[in-house]
Amino acid sequence: MSRPVIRLEEIGKTYSQGNQPIEVLRDISLQVEVGEFIALLGTSGSGKSTLMHILGLLDRCSTGRYLLAEQDVSQLPDERLSELRNRMIGFIFQSFYLIPYVSARENVMLPGLYSRTPGRILKTRAEELLALVGLADRMEFKPGQLSGGQQQRVAIARALVNDPQVLLADEPTGQLDSKTSGEILDLLTDINRQGRTVILVTHDQATANYAERKIFLDDGRIRND
């Protein structure tokens, strides 16, 4: 039985640059089932990050319809979007975006503060997640005291703290060496096997091979799925 978690219906995205409209995404229709592991590929400027931002409710499409867990989010007010994003989506970026002056544990706890999870439960959950990503012995370290791969593990633990259905990763291994990249991709594979939907942006074929479905973007359109 098919259970789409994400459904895009002919979405488009246009930015206005001065009085010049720039069409960055066009006619994108896409259905993603619960538990899929998808790689989104395409050359630089093809619209991958723009599409991820729309999928992650960080940005809105200009035309078309987006259904997230069967709810039409295209017209939701910003406040509802933020609440939905916090609850349903986890993000991992190429630059880890950790808060430098607090510990790994506090970084992981941060998105949970917005969802008003009680502090003690949140702390336990952060510790469990840090153990899951292999950082049980680094919980009180600050980001500057961790390697790049370890920082990305913290970011992955943080992305999971609100138990999101969907994990979006934009070039998560872009700053890492190939061995560390492999470890991070294995971790994302494990997370996917636990039933979470993972969408990974990359321009690297070897990275994309971790996914079971590949979608190619070309100049804002889906060229191949």
Ligand X SMILES: Nc1ncnc2c1ncn2[C@@H]1O[C@H](COP(=O)(O)OP(=O)(O)OP(=O)(O)O)[C@@H](O)[C@H]1O
CB of 63 to ligand X, least distance (A): 16
Are the beta carbons of 156 and 92 closer than 8 angstroms? yes
Backbone angles phi, psi at 203, to 5 degrees: -115, 15
Q: Which amino acid is at 64?
A: G
Q: Give the binding range for ligand X (CB under 6 A) out of 38-46, 74-82, 157-165, 177-185.
A: 38-46
Report the C-alpha gap between 55 and 58 in whole angstroms. Answer: 8
Report the C-alpha gap between 190 and 188 in whole angstroms. Answer: 5
Nearer to ligand X, 22 or 206 (CB): 22
Q: Give the binding range for ligand X (CB under 6 A) out of 41-49, 68-76, 78-86, 136-144.
A: 41-49
Contact partner at residue 44 from ligand X, Mg ion, none, CB < 5 to 8 Å by partner kind: ligand X
Answer yes or no whether residue 21 interacts with ligand X by CB under 6 A: no
Residue of 11, 37, 38, 42 that binds ligand X (CB under 6 A): 42
Site size toward ligand X (CB under 6 A) is: 13
Answer yes or no whether residue 17 interacts with ligand X by CB under 6 A: yes
Answer yes or no whether residue 119 interacts with ligand X by CB under 6 A: no
Nearer to Mg ion, 139 or 215 (CB): 215
Burial 123-156 (b: 16+ CB within 10 A, else e): bebbbebbebbebeebbebbbeebeebbbbbbbb
Report the C-alpha gap between 68 and 84 in whole angstroms. Answer: 9
Helix, strand, coil content of the chain in percent (nearest 5) = 35, 30, 35
CB of 192 to Mg ion, least distance (A): 21
Residue of 203, 213, 214, 221 that binds ligand X (CB under 6 A): 203
Contact partner at residue 65 from ligand X, Mg ion, none, CB < 5 to 8 Å by partner kind: none
Answer yes or no whether residue 20 interacts with ligand X by CB under 6 A: no
Answer yes or no whether residue 221 interacts with ligand X by CB under 6 A: no
Mapped onto helix, strand or coil, the DSSP state of residue 23 is: strand
Report the C-alpha gap between 122 and 114 in whole angstroms. Answer: 11
- Catalog residues that contact ligand X under the rule CB under 6 A: 15, 17, 22, 24, 42, 44-50, 203
